[in-house]
Amino acid sequence: MLVIGPIYMDHEWMELQQFRYVVAVAEEGNFTRAAARCFVVQSALSHQVKRLEEELGVTLFNRTSRRVELTPAGTAFVAAARSTLNAAERAAVDAAAAAGHITGRLSVGVIPTVTAIEVSASLKAFREAHPQIHIMLQVGGSDELEAAIIQGDLDVGLLGLPENRQPRGVAWRHLGYDPLVAVVSQEHRLADSHEVQLCDLAQETFADFPSGTPAREESDQAFAAANIHREVAFESMATDLTVDLIRHNLAVALLPAGYVPRHPALISIAIADGPSRSEYVAWSSFNPSPATHAFLEIIAQNGR
């Protein structure tokens, strides 16, 4: 195992900017793109990287005319550099928060079918209260977002899970329930129904989320409990595509009642023995940032 201990340059600690340059080159795989990303001329960035290598006594990058790759020493250094940069950024953010100014970044992950809160309205309120915070958004499945929070890649996640499952490995707050309804085309044989049972849908062709995702579990568990087999012919995380398949009468789907778009070509039908979905806001229980706390306050104020 390669261990890089404390490093000095001219009797001073290395500059954080050099760390940023090395990380940028590693992530971009190219000195020119790294320089553009860091808003510096390439010659200056290359000089600083070379100077750092001389001080360390190791080569961080293998360079050819076409490729730039990390050496084993470079891989070890980049991991340590990222940790140092993250710690430095968090220190600055915490200091600003102590002075009453929340700064930094906030990464928010959402499932495609959030209904418990108005995401855009919450982001607007947060942005108006904290205009200096850079917001990064990610759309994905609940299991993907949950894992990203645990790994420290995401600050806050808006999750949707089956009724019998709570978030795991994260801090969370329950936001509410939303029953799933059968969504069909206006041309469908059940379009005039006010309510159906799962057995009425047994012979239908379904569009649903990918197998194994929490969003899919909600429907799968309900049909399994009713001892009903169904055919899922279309799998996708893109709910707009699923809705379009329904509109063209290619499939039916079970979707949260509060999510179904209001469209004359779509009919929502209550399911007497259908499942419900629980929604949660989740975040890391390990030292959440001031921006995370501020966003959670906005969520509490804007819940439906």
Range 193-207 average pLDDT: 96
Supply the pLDDT for residue 210: 95
Return the H-helix or E-strand segment holding 177. Answer: strand 171-185
Domain residue spans in the chain?
A: 8-98, 104-304
11 pLDDT band, cuts 50/70/90, is very low
pLDDT tens for residues 130-169?
888 989 999 999 999 999 999 988 999 999 999 889 999 9
Instruction: Reply yes or no on domain 104-304 having CATH 3.40.1710.10.
Output: no
What is 8-98's CATH number, 1.10.10.10, 3.40.50.11540, 1.10.287.110, 3.30.300.180? 1.10.10.10
Two tokens at 170?
């994260």
Among candidate residues 94, 76, 67, 86, the one with its CA nearest the CA of residue 20 = 86
Residue 5: pLDDT above 90? Answer: no
Kindly report the CA angle at 143 between 139 and 148, in degrees rounded to 5?
Answer: 70
pLDDT tens for residues 24-54?
999 998 999 999 988 889 999 999 999 899 8
Burial label, 284 (beta-carbon count in 10 A; 0-12, 13-18, 19+): buried
Two tokens at 118?
């108005």
pLDDT tens for residues 211-256?
999 999 999 999 999 999 999 999 999 999 999 999 999 999 999 9
Supply the pLDDT for residue 94: 67
Same fold, 8-98 and 104-304: no
**Residue by residue, what is the 3-state secondary structure of 191-205?**
CCCCEECHHHHCCCE
pTM: 0.69
Q: In 10 A of CB 291, how many CB atoms? A: 25
- Compute the Cα dihedral for 131, 136, 140, 143 and give only its sign: negative
